[in-house]
Amino acid sequence: MKKCMDSENLHKRIRKVVGQLQAVDRMVDEDMPCEDVLAQISAASSALHKIGQVVLEGHIRHCVRDGIQHGDADKTIEGFTKAVERFANMK
């Protein structure tokens, strides 16, 4: 996976989500309004979804392209289909 991903970008995004989730945890302890907690959860969820997009894009640009050009196209397409299904199931 490292060869097809900008790992620094992914780590930065992951740290952001971790921080957002820690903020949610603090908000619960501080008895913050539900609307504020939900807004923070929504932001973390959106950021996590974006991480999935970045991973999927890297997979397409590198793994899928390389697999079709230099490997087994059918196996590559099968793997790509599985990746898209997993991404689509992110909620």
Q: What is the pLDDT of residues 2-36, one digit of tens each?
A: 677 788 999 999 999 999 999 999 999 999 999 99
Instruction: Confirm whether 49 is domain-assigned.
Output: yes
Residue 1 has pLDDT above 70, yes or no: no
Counted domains in the chain = 1
Instruction: Confirm whether 65 is domain-assigned.
Output: yes
Span 65-81, average pLDDT: 92
CATH of the domain at 38: 1.20.58.1000
Instruction: Confirm whether 2 is domain-assigned.
Output: no
Give the model's pLDDT for residue 13: 96
Instruction: Confirm whether 75 is domain-assigned.
Output: yes
Neighbours of 28 (CB within 10 A): 10
Question: Checking phi first, is residue 31 left (phi over 0); if not, alpha (psi -120 to 50) or beta?
Answer: left
Give the model's pLDDT for residue 83: 94
Give the model's pLDDT for residue 2: 63
| Rounded Cα–Cα distance for residues 34 and 40 (Å) | 10
What's the N-to-C CA distance of the chain in angstroms? 23
Which pTM was predicted? Answer: 0.84
> Which residue segment(s) compose the domain that 58 sits in?
7-88
Instruction: Confirm whether 1 is domain-assigned.
Output: no
Instruction: Confirm whether 40 is domain-assigned.
Output: yes
- Is residue 2 within 8 Å of 63, Cβ to Cβ? no
